[in-house]
Amino acid sequence: MKVFWNILFTFGAVAMLRAQTNSIPPPKPRAPTQIFSDKVEMDVKDRSAIYSGNVRVEDPQMKMTCELLTARMITNSTKIESIVAERNVVIDGIDNKGETSHGTADKLVYTFKIMNGVTNETIELTGKPQLTNTMGGFVGDPIKWDITSGRITALGHETRINSKTNAIAPVLEKVTGEKK
């Protein structure tokens, strides 16, 4: 009899768990990323595309403009593996908390990697890069932004702290003496 009740309890627990799982609404589909440009040269074999002339990227979390953009996709996928944006790069981002950031540089390199099951997304700004967000501003070359961890590192000369909030995020680091 005890075994019977144990089995019944187990089935009941599984049923409740399933009901709870089913009650979670499915995540909203992510809005697509759009790229506008004057011209594109696609290499299907190489899985790459070179956009040129008035390049504009619009994404739910980022808007960017530049003159030249090279995008490469992961093999057997339409997921972007890397983006290299060049000439007058201007990027405006918004994070999950709704906080905005603004960056400018001559060159921006975005890379996406999955290593040992861990996603790694980074952005590196070079060529007189500047990055400003609600917590302060960075001038350094390069400025490295780990999107996954939120950590920003800048090899450079100047870190400006936001005078209104008088604070700088603990994840922001000014790195000096780092060799390229």
The residues that touch other proteins, with contacts defined as CB under 8 A, are 29-30, 32-45, 49, 51, 73, 76-80
Nearest approach in angstroms of CB 19 to other proteins is 26
Rounded distance between C-alpha atoms, residue 75 and residue 105, angstroms: 29
Rounded distance between C-alpha atoms, residue 133 and residue 78, angstroms: 31
Nearest approach in angstroms of CB 49 to other proteins is 8
Nearest approach in angstroms of CB 143 to other proteins is 25
Q: What is residue 177's DSSP assignment?
A: S
Of 56 and 174, CB closest to other proteins: 56
Cis previous bond, 170, omega within 30? no
Of 58 and 173, CB closest to other proteins: 58
Of 9 and 36, CB closest to other proteins: 36
Phi and psi at 93, nearest 5°, equal: -115, 160
Rounded distance between C-alpha atoms, residue 149 and residue 93, angstroms: 15
Amino acid making up residue 176:
T
Nearest approach in angstroms of CB 84 to other proteins is 16
Nearest approach in angstroms of CB 108 to other proteins is 17
Of 73 and 169, CB closest to other proteins: 73
Of 78 and 176, CB closest to other proteins: 78
Q: What is residue 162's DSSP assignment?
A: B
Amino acid making up residue 69:
L
Taken in order 107, 56, 160, 171, is the CA torsion positive or negative?
negative
